[in-house]
Amino acid sequence: MAHRFGRRWAVRGVSLSVARGEVLALIGHNGSGKSTLLRIVATALRATRGAGSVCGADLVRDAVAVRGMVALLSTDPGVYGDLTALE
């Protein structure tokens, strides 16, 4: 799986498999592609190359099913930054 922003690759050559009950931790420097990878798996961003699935559901063709299984809570949602949580 890979994703590119313009000429810069944010994620390239990623292949992983996580079995039911396993826990995966992504560790890396700022800008190493952790958030981009998580956004792809949560279907918030489409991979530039490659394919992926969650419990057999394709990230593109079955995105609605994937969203029912995966949740992404980002520290920077990028939307409505000027509103409070109550608003």
- Using a pLDDT cut of 70, give the percent of the chain over it: 92
Residue-level pLDDT at 24: 86
57 pLDDT above the threshold of 90: yes
| Segments in 1-87 forming alpha helices (H) | 34-41, 63-69
pLDDT band at 86 (very low <50, low <70, confident <90, very high): confident
pTM exceeds cut of 0.85: no
pLDDT band at 78 (very low <50, low <70, confident <90, very high): low
Residue-level pLDDT at 66: 93
Three-state DSSP class for residue 18: coil
Distance CA 53, CA 63 (A): 9
